[in-house]
Structure 1
Amino acid sequence: MTESTTPGRRRGAELEQAIYVATLDELAANGYGRLTMEGIAARAGTGKAALYRRWPGKQPLVLDALRYALPPLPEPDPERSTRENLADALAAFSGVLAGRTLVPGIEFIVDLLREPDLRAMFADRVIAPRLERIEAILHEGMRSGELGPEIEHPLAARTGPALILQTFLLTGEPPSPREIDLIVDTVLHRTATS
């Protein structure tokens, strides 16, 4: 079965994009618990059938919408220091939580904690790749001699994102650029070569 070919009807990538934006808007307005396929379809200006042809339910749709909305982490620049590349990666992470992207922000992340299956999928498909990028930056710093072997510790890559999240939870605000610098210093403090 194909989408209608009525003039003015969205199809393919255009419809998918509208569905993603509607999903993110519904998440921001209602939270995950009250999110419905009907509400998404209405906001996207399409029928529920268009959603169910692509996704079996709201969980996989939300994950695809988040992947659509999340900007890629900046690629590490080999001409820049490990510290500068790490600062860029952590600033991008902070920007997502601050709602500077299409992702609903910290409220949605907190909402995730109530949904174990969604939280696990979010951690696997969204968070893990970002932690891998940070690990790669830190390992490159070790390889180049900027950082010591302590960087192999499994918590090294998690420290920066954890401190950013803690700042949000304690203050309700994203870390300032100065605070991002302090977070980077904290991550690198025990890994720098003497």
Structure 2
Amino acid sequence: MSSTADTTRSRRRGAELEHALYEATLDELAEVGYGRLTMEGVAARARTGKAAVYRRWSTRQALVLDALRHALPALPGFDPQIPARENLRAVFTVLCQLLAGETSFPGLPVIAGLLGDPVLRQAFVEAIVRPRLLVIESILGHAEETGEIEPGTLTPMAVQTGPALIMQACLLTGNPPTPQDIDRIVDSVLPVGRRDPLRTR
């Protein structure tokens, strides 16, 4: 190995080195999948020694968990000043981008390879699925309180329907839903005939 490479390795410490290791882990996940990911492979991609990895993480599971947390995109909120339909469309659009791999977080094909590990599956649920369900629940709850949608629209099934249909589309087609598909998914949560009862009063 050249002295230049040795110098590059020795100069990176602390947060800079950790960032490089996180990026290397995400790149390895995308290229070889969780099943073939190794600590040595991550170290080589990050151009550092494997001791730098093992000092921070004792297992690849712990390394991957921290890398996923590092890559988490911002959680979308909702604007109480705009209709529930528009809020849902915005949340569903961001979820599509996330599952399609259009953010730094691994897309659904990579995530699917992690779901066989119970700890990583639970981490995915807690970090990605559950927070977005809570946002959807807040959107529907606020819309019920203001009379924008009919009482009873907020149900566990209504909250789960949008993300479930988005993930199904990604799994079955390999592509995220189109904007037109997202409109139809919103319709499944807020049926067109019920979406604005204030107009009929």
Specify if TM > 0.5.
Answer: yes
Q: CA deviation at 1:116?
A: 2.5
Structure 2 residue 185 is the aligned partner of structure 1 residue 183: yes
Give, in whole Å, the separation in 2 of the partners of 1:120 and 1:78. 30
CA deviation profile, 1:21-55 (whole Å, cap 9, x unmatched): 11110000011111111111111122223223333
8 Å CA contact retained: 2:148, 2:195: yes
Shift of 1:174: 0.9
Match of 2:26 in 1: 24
Of 75, 81, 84, the match for 1:79: 81
Structure 1's unaligned 5+ residue stretches are 1-5
Note if 1:44 corresponds to 2:46. yes
Change (3 A) 1:60 1:183: same
CA contact (8 A) 2:21 2:46 kept: yes
Secondary structure, aligned partner of 1:150: coil
Say if 2:76 and 2:135, in contact at 8 Å, map to a contact too: no
Tell me the distance in 2 between the aligned counterparts of 1:124 and 1:143: 27
Q: How many residues align?
A: 189
Write the distance in 1 (CA, Å) between the matches of 2:143 and 2:76.
16
Q: Secondary structure of the equivalent of 2:64? A: helix
What is the TM-score with the length of structure 2 in the denominator?
Answer: 0.84
Q: Which has the larger radius of gyration?
A: 2
Over the aligned positions, Cα root-mean-square deviation in angstroms equals 2.1
Shift of 1:13: 2.0
Matches within 5 A, 1:1-194: 9-189=11-191, 192=195, 194=197
For 2:3, the equivalent position in structure 1 comes to none
Taking structure 1 as the reference length, what is the TM-score of the superposition?
0.86
